[in-house]
Amino acid sequence: MTQIAKNLFVLTASMLVIVFALHAQTPAATASPKLKTYVIERDIPGAGAFTAEKLKDISKTSCSVLNTMGPSIQWIQSYVTGDKVFCVYKAENEELLREHAKKGGFPITNIYEVASVISPATAQQ
């Protein structure tokens, strides 16, 4: 083996050791917190008749508040019905959901923590 090949081998091996060492030393504190899934029930009379523009404004308000709250709370999606809106969120705890609602001016009727998720795929498992 030539000296250049030996040096290249040592350099490559050293880089692999560094990469693996850095990966192994990633502190748990920097890992994202465990987020639970919640369904929020909101009584909002006439919600099903809201215009697309009004729904867009509500969405913008929610996103604006979420951007100030950090990664411990995430809005997944919402289902708008006649007089209710059901929102799916991921969050560390219920308190963050209440804080988001207060800052955004959104009502909360009930909060449900999701225990399990099933779908047609569940029948195939």
pLDDT digits (tens, 9 = 90+) for 43-75: 999 999 999 999 999 999 999 999 999 999 999
Name the residue with tokens 């029948």.
123
Query: Would the pLDDT of 26 be above 90?
Result: no
Number of H helices, E strands in the chain: 4, 4
Per-residue confidence (pLDDT) for residue 9, from 0 to 100:
40
pLDDT band at 16 (very low <50, low <70, confident <90, very high): very low
Asked if residue 44 and residue 99 are part of one domain, the reply reads: yes
Asked if residue 90 and residue 64 are part of one domain, the reply reads: yes
pLDDT band at 27 (very low <50, low <70, confident <90, very high): very low
Length of the chain: 125
Instruction: Please list the alpha-helical segments (H only) found in 70-110.
Output: 94-104
24: domain range? 1-28
Global pTM value: 0.73
> Of 93, 104, 92, nearest to 78 (Cα)?
104
Considering the domain boundaries, does residue 125 fall inside one?
no
Write the Ramachandran bin of 122: left for phi over 0, alpha for psi from -120 to 50, otherwise beta.
Answer: alpha
Residues 6 or more apart whose CB falls under 8 angstroms from that of 46 comprise: 82, 83
Per-residue confidence (pLDDT) for residue 20, from 0 to 100:
38
How many domains does the chain divide into? Answer: 2
> Of 4, 106, 121, nearest to 55 (Cα)?
106
d(C-alpha 87, C-alpha 38), whole Å: 8
Per-residue confidence (pLDDT) for residue 87, from 0 to 100:
98
Considering the domain boundaries, does residue 54 fall inside one?
yes
Question: Residue 109 is which amino acid?
Answer: T
Higher pLDDT, 107 or 28: 107
Considering the domain boundaries, does residue 123 fall inside one?
no
Q: How far is CA 88 from CA 1, 20, 84, 97, 108, in A?
A: 61, 37, 13, 11, 13
